[in-house]
């Protein structure tokens, strides 16, 4: 395994049009990362730069300090699992799992032990001697995962939306299994997905991207508590974070004819948005006046849509707590009331 440093990396497929804007990040040895963002934001581009399928137009790729920018995937010692199964139909499951090890010249006795171990962890020991042809797409993809996990000598294992073909009810099970396997093997893993649940349950650290830009690298808790950008706040969470346009008056945020006391007074006075998650707004006896425009009951809790001085927001209301039908007031949790200037979290709050 290796520490992977993407040093001042950027990539443009067409000169001047950056699919990946300049970034510098060290991927820690042995950590599990998820690359999360909407379609076309540059996730596969970034993954392919790590694997060596793509040479970045700018910057360097360093594995444990060694420059591998010009090296191909085989020379980087990377295992990859793609969206669709990559297995040999004519071979048995055992032969498929053994293939990457045979290719690396591992002794046959060691190969067998390792194949049995990985098959046991993936719960496919009973089908090791079946031919791969005729297996369902789910089963084939589990073998592809096995082929990615079987080598012990890899610098990193990269997964590009590996659960796309997996039946929804199996997805959760396989994701948890991958997490267990990460704990046992401690490989550096990078997992591409556009699904926040998949990212947050799998990764120690989530890399959130949008429009070719890495907006935040953080733990699931960081992304929830301190989104570095309004996009992160909105993309993570269900519903996403509320953003309200405010004017600043000292350490007060002014919304129409009402104001909210802030814990700090930011330097910039205009173009500022106040960000607060629906979990941290609460109907109270006093606070900011609002109108409740609709109420959605999700069983575990309700989501109230409100209008605050003409701006919309959502409030998560725990079950059993009443929702006022008139003269509603909202309290803003001061520790979770954040400010964003031009989309980015105020520097003093980072």
By the criterion CB under 6 A, which residues form the site for ligand ATP?
13, 19, 37, 39-45, 194
Shortest Å, Cβ 93 to ligand ATP: 29
Shortest Å, Cβ 18 to ligand ATP: 9
Cβ distance to ligand ATP smaller for residue 42 or 100: 42
- The pair of three-digit structure tokens given for residue 66, joined into one six-digit string: 């060694």
Cβ distance to ligand ATP smaller for residue 46 or 106: 46
CA torsion 107→113→116→120, rounded to 10°? -140
Shortest Å, Cβ 262 to ligand ATP: 36
- φ and ψ of 241, to 5 deg: -65, 150
Cβ distance to ligand ATP smaller for residue 19 or 143: 19
Query: What is the C-alpha separation between 227 and 225, in angstroms, rounded?
Result: 6
Shortest Å, Cβ 246 to ligand ATP: 32
Cβ distance to ligand ATP smaller for residue 13 or 120: 13
Cβ distance to ligand ATP smaller for residue 44 or 201: 44
Going by the DSSP 8-state scheme, the letter that residue 347 receives in this structure is G
CB-count burial class (<10 Å; 0-12, 13-18, 19+) for 43: buried
CB-count burial class (<10 Å; 0-12, 13-18, 19+) for 249: exposed
Cβ distance to ligand ATP smaller for residue 177 or 194: 194
- The pair of three-digit structure tokens given for residue 102, joined into one six-digit string: 């045979």
Cβ distance to ligand ATP smaller for residue 154 or 214: 214
Shortest Å, Cβ 11 to ligand ATP: 8
Can you give the C-alpha Rg of the chain in angstroms?
24
Shortest Å, Cβ 137 to ligand ATP: 19
Shortest Å, Cβ 43 to ligand ATP: 4
Largest Cα span, the chain: 77
Cβ distance to ligand ATP smaller for residue 39 or 294: 39
Number of residues written out for the chain: 350
Shortest Å, Cβ 29 to ligand ATP: 25
Shortest Å, Cβ 229 to ligand ATP: 17
Q: E strands of 87-176, at which residues?
A: 156-160
* DSSP 3-state of 27: strand
Give the Cβ contact number of residue 103 at 10 Å. Answer: 10
Cβ distance to ligand ATP smaller for residue 42 or 218: 42
The tokens 């079946």 sit on which residue? 130
Give the Cβ contact number of residue 235 at 10 Å. Answer: 21
CB-count burial class (<10 Å; 0-12, 13-18, 19+) for 297: exposed
Query: What is the C-alpha separation between 255 and 221, in angstroms, rounded?
Result: 29
CA-based torsion, 282, 286, 292, 297: positive or negative:
positive
């Amino acid at each position: 395994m290796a520490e992977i440093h993407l040093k001042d990396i950027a990539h443009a497929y067409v000169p001047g049009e950056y699919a990946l804007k300049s970034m510098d990040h060290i991927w820690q040895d042995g950590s599990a990362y998820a690359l999360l963002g909407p379609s076309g934001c540059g996730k596969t581009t970034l993954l392919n730069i790590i694997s060596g399928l793509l040479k970045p137009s700018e910057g360097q790729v360093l594995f444990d300090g060694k420059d591998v920018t010009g090296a191909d995937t085989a020379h980087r010692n990377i295992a990859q699992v793609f969206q669709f199964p990559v297995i040999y139909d004519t071979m048995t499951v055992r032969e498929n799992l053994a293939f990457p090890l045979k290719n690396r010249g591992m002794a046959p006795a060691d190969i067998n032990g390792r194949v049995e171990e990985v098959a046991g962890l993936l719960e496919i020991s009973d089908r090791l001697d079946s031919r791969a042809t005729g297996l369902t797409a789910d089963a084939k993809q589990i073998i592809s995962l096995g082929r990615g996990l079987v080598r012990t000598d890899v610098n990193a294992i990269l997964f590009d939306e590996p659960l796309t073909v997996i039946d929804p009810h199996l997805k959760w099970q396989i994701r948890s299994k991958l997490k267990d396997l990460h704990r046992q093997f401690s490989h550096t893993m990078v997992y591409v997905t556009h699904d926040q649940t998949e990212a947050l349950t799998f990764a120690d650290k989530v890399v959130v991207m949008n429009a070719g830009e890495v907006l935040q690298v953080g733990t699931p808790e960081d992304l929830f508590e301190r989104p570095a950008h309004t996009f992160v706040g909105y993309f993570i969470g269900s519903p996403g974070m509320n953003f309200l346009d405010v004017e600043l008056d000292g350490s007060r945020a002014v919304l129409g004819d009402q104001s909210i006391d802030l814990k700090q007074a930011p330097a910039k006075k205009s173009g500022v948005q106040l960000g607060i998650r629906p979990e941290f707004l609460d109907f109270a006896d006093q606070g900011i006046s609002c109108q409740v425009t609709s109420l959605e009951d999700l069983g575990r809790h309700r989501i109230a849509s409100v209008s605050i001085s003409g701006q919309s927001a959502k409030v998560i209301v725990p079950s059993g707590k009443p929702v006022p039908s008139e003269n509603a007031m909202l309290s803003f949790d001061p520790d979770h009331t954040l400010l964003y200037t031009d989309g980015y979290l105020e520097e003093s709050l980072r």
